[in-house]
Amino acid sequence: MSNYIKIGQENSTPIEIYYEDHGSGSPVVLIHGWPLNGASWEKQTAALLAAGHRVITYDRRGFGRSSKPAVGYNYDTFAADLDALLSTLNLTDVSLVGFSMGTGEVTRYIGKYGTKRVRKAVLIGTLGPYLVKTADNPEGVDRSVFDGIKTAIKADRPALLMDFLRNFYNYDVTGGKLVSERVLEDNWNVAAGASAIGTLACVDAWIEDFRQDIPHNTVPTLILHGDADRILPPDASSRRQAKMIKNARFVELKGGPHGVLWTHAEQVNSELVKFLA
């Protein structure tokens, strides 16, 4: 079977999602963050395979080895892409694990398609419930922050990506200890290879409102978040979302930056494996 699933068409070109499907046992789908790809789960994939899971990773449209269309960078489309993957692979009783931007797929998928296929949900460095500050969402982040990111992407995407990755790992604090320069370099290469259009368009998706989706999540849910996260501060995201989910277990990772999949992999993996058992 090919590693690609066709999810649409743009002019003369098919839009395809690249995925990998390893192991056997209880299925886990890992949904990556911006601006990386499914390979960013390498430490979790190894731990979950060792724990006897079937592990499926995929690249979001516009990123990694998936097609790079000029359209579809919103959570309704991302959720439909995930639904196509779950349907094509005929997955049931699946655990959906999202990191950062990937938490949006988990939340919107459940909001739109329900939990009939879903056993458990995991949100790591979540962007819910609603990231942008509005009259009815005073705890959000000021809209000018997102406008600034978009301006910087348009001006010099490669430079913005390197700055982003330094803050992603709190590199001034963790560099040479919890994360090497080579990791930064590898992540930058992946990020620089993503769709320029998609990289920019995703910023608007980050500030979609997930407050109507969250009540549909009735499955056991694990939320993990670094308490030193500079990208998605827990006060604006996970601390609020944890209170809105009935069956949530919320764990803050002490000293954790945004990129905890790498810097705090042992803690993340131990929580994940325990929770998904």
With contact defined as beta carbons under 8 Å apart, do 33 and 124 qualify? no
DSSP β-ladder status, 13-22 and 4-10: antiparallel
Per-residue confidence band for 78, with pLDDT thresholds at 50, 70 and 90: very high
Please compute the mean of the pLDDT values over residues 150-178 and round it to a whole number.
Answer: 98
pLDDT of residue 121: 98
Amino acid at 28: V
What element of type H or E holds 70? none
List the structure tokens of 102.
């990937």
Q: Indicate the pLDDT class of residue 246, thresholds 50, 70 and 90.
A: confident
Q: How far apart are alpha carbons 237 and 131 in whole angstroms?
A: 7
Q: Sign of torsion, CA 16 149 144 233?
A: positive
pLDDT at 170: 98
Residue 238 is among the residues annotated as catalytic for this protein? no
Mapping DSSP to helix (H, G, I), strand (E, B) and coil, where does residue 50 land? helix
Question: CA–CA separation, 219 vs 96, rounded Å?
Answer: 11
Comparing C-alpha atoms, which of 75, 74, 76, 86 is closest to residue 17? 86
Which one of the listed residues 213, 229, 238, 264 is annotated catalytic?
229
Tens of pLDDT along 180-194?
Answer: 999 999 999 999 999
Question: CA-CA distance, 189 to 158, in Å (whole number)?
Answer: 9
pLDDT band at 107 (very low <50, low <70, confident <90, very high): very high
**In the chain, where the domains are located:** 4-276
Please spell the DSSP secondary structure of 200-221, one letter per residue.
Answer: HHHHHHHT-B-TTTGGG--S-E
Task: Give Cα 27 distance to the centre of its chain.
Answer: 18
Grouping H, G, I as helix, E, B as strand and the rest as coil, residue 276 is helix
Task: pLDDT band for 166, please (50, 70, 90 cuts).
Answer: very high
How many residues are recorded in the chain? 277
Indicate which residue of 40, 100, 195, 237 is catalytic: 100
DSSP string, 133-197: -BTTBTTSB-HHHHHHHHHHHHHHHHHHHHHHHHHHTTHHHHBTTTB-HHHHHHHHHHHHTS-HH
DSSP designation for 132? B
**Is the pLDDT score of 123 beyond 80?**
yes
The angle subtended at Cα 194 by Cα 83 and Cα 72, nearest 5°, is 40
CB atoms within 10 A of CB 26: 17
What predicted TM-score, i.e. pTM, was given to this entire model?
0.98
How confident is the model over 75-85, as a mean pLDDT? 98
Element of type H or E holding 27: strand 27-31
Question: CB 51: neighbour CB atoms within 10 A?
Answer: 18
Residue range 199-225: average pLDDT? 97
Give the model's pLDDT for residue 112.
98
> Is the pLDDT reported for residue 21 higher than 60?
yes
Architecture of the domain delimited by 4-276: 3-Layer(aba) Sandwich (3.40)
Strand partners, 121: 96, 221
Coil/strand/helix, residue 263: helix
> For this structure, is 258 an active site residue?
yes
Give me the catalytic one of 32, 53, 258, 264: 258
100 noted as active-site residue: yes
